[in-house]
Chain A
Amino acid sequence: MSGTTAEPAARFEVPPRPRTWPRRALIVSALAAFTVATCLPAIGGVEIDLGAIARNWRHGAANLSALLQPNWAFFPRTVQPMLETLQMAFVGAAIAAALSVPLTLWAARPTNPNILTRSAVRAVVNVFRAVPDLVWATILVAMVGVGALPGLLALVLFNVGIVVKLVSEAIDSAEHPYLEAARAGGATQHQINRTLALPQNLPLFLNQWLYALELNVRISAILGIVGAGGIGRLLDERFGFFAYGDVSVIILEILVVVLVIEAASNILRRRLA
């Protein structure tokens, strides 16, 4: 290799190779230092305890094998909570879809030229998005009591955050030549949004609504752990009793439902595209 490159270099004027390695070395060592810092228990990092894995892997293996032996007799008891989970996921996604339309159009630049209201909506959405789903559920359970309502509210808040952020960014980065034409014809921003921007960008919305629904099925399966309704409550209870056969049925059920929803929404996406 060196022979073949050195030879032409002698004959042709090769421009000096840009020195990228010092910067690269700096980045790599910064990342390494950060990673090391995250592993130091003394300063609050994570203690990597490989010994525990060596000692206790049998527990995990036993649990896994117990999880692989579902207790099918338990299935009938899971149907009702599973339905509740699906209902929460669907209703939550639908409410969020309705709320997301005006908020998204407010948060995107082409559909809201007013920088004040636009930044305000974006700031609120970003704050709401920074609170994790299960944390929302925990707080809402404290506020309105145990049940499906706090779960539903948590899903709605979570979905609105995702849809508004992703769709408004997609609208921002797309070209909207028709806006200028409508403006040249004397249209108001509201008329443009209502009759042009919304139908033109509907596929973006539909895509994210479906995504929110998929996420909801996954999340609402665990909302019950903090008392927010659905199959998670049952999961938590059976886990507490070490009834792994029952837990296994629930997990398998969640798995099937998630896969079915994902497949269905993939088909829908393809048809909408």
Chain B
Amino acid sequence: MTLDTRAEAGAAPASAWPIRLDGVSVTYPNGTAALRDVSLTIDAGEMVSVVGLSGSGKSTLIRAVNGLVPVTSGTVTVGPYTVSGLSGRRLRQVRGHIGMIFQGFNLATRIDVYRNTLVGRFAQAGALRGLLGVPTAHDREVALSALHTVGMLDKVWTRAGSLSGGQQQRVAIARALSQEPSIMLADEPVASLDPPTAHAVMSELERINTERYLTVLVNLHLMDLARQYTRRMIGLRAGEVVYDGPAAEATEADFEQIYGRRIRPQDRLGDRT
């Protein structure tokens, strides 16, 4: 089997995209102000972590980037697009360029790994193929190489529900990779995993960032993971940015400021094994 040249060209994202938030506020319909006037710029190809206590607005921030949560005021810009204000087909098109990984993996458990991965190709499907749900040879190639990248090719026909947590998260990463995204968002990708698996998944994200040259924005609630795997760290507290700087240099005092309390043992995962 020789590689389709389109597949090879397609496997390379056109470029990483920068992310810009300008005075973004999000207030949920029930009145909770989850983000207050957040402005920040993430350069193309950066790997940035967002840390903060539960309820500090980490998920809201990451969801505002791909429009899963509409912003109340301010603008969100990714690459050439302004996300805030988009809807329908245009929004889906932009989302096609942004991969996302979830804490709960969010796979369809009764469906095999192959078809779960192909979900990443949906945004690229033409009208008729979208209607019939038939992937092209190119879609297939991209999905399989994404599975290969995360080392899950041998499980391609297994039902997603019968995989272990770490394996499911790898499939979820492959799903996001098969979008050939310019940005990768991850909302606490390792919070449901045991420590060794958590390190493996974080290394996977790190590798994707360097090998595929993607902008990566990852939510973490553990300080040592943020320090180890990301260069820049953003600290959120009650919906406001209270820290933005190099992750490695963040001191205990910085974390105590982000958390608004003393460091506790459960704020650390433990070392790489």
Contacts and interface: CB of A to CB of B under 8 A. Distances in A.
Given A180-B68, A181-B175, A188 B130 contact: yes
Interface stretch (B109-117, B202-210, B233-241): B109-117
A186 B123 CA distance: 5
B81 to A, nearest CB: 12
Contacts of B221: none
A202 B115 CA distance: 15
A184 B107 CA distance: 13
B110 A191 contact: no
A177 B102 contact: yes
Given A187-B92, A199-B110, A202-B110, A181 B119 contact: yes
Q: Which range contains the number of A residues in contact with the other chain?
A: 20 to 34
A190 interface: yes
Interface in A179-216: 180-188, 190-192, 194-196, 199-200, 202-203
A186 to B, nearest CB: 3
B12 interface: no
B108 A178 contact: yes
Contacts of A200: 108-111
A181 B110 contact: no
A53 to B, nearest CB: 54
Contacts of A196: 108, 111, 115, 119
Contacts of B118: 195
B131 interface: yes
Contacts of A192: 122
Nearest to A182: B119
B96 A199 contact: no
Interface in B73-120: 91-96, 98-100, 102, 104-111, 115-116, 118-120
B110 A185 contact: no
B106 A191 contact: no
Given A186-B122, A188-B122, A190-B130, A181 B95 contact: no
B60 interface: no
B40 interface: no
Contact of A182 (B98, B122, B131, B133): B122
B108 A185 contact: no
A186 B106 contact: no
Contact of A188 (B92, B111, B175, B185): B92
B66 interface: yes
Nearest to A178: B108
Interface in A54-88: none
B122 A178 contact: no
B182 interface: no
Interface of B: 66, 68, 91-96, 98-100, 102, 104-111, 115-116, 118-120, 122-123, 125, 130-133, 172, 175-176, 179, 185
Interface of A: 177-178, 180-188, 190-192, 194-196, 199-200, 202-203
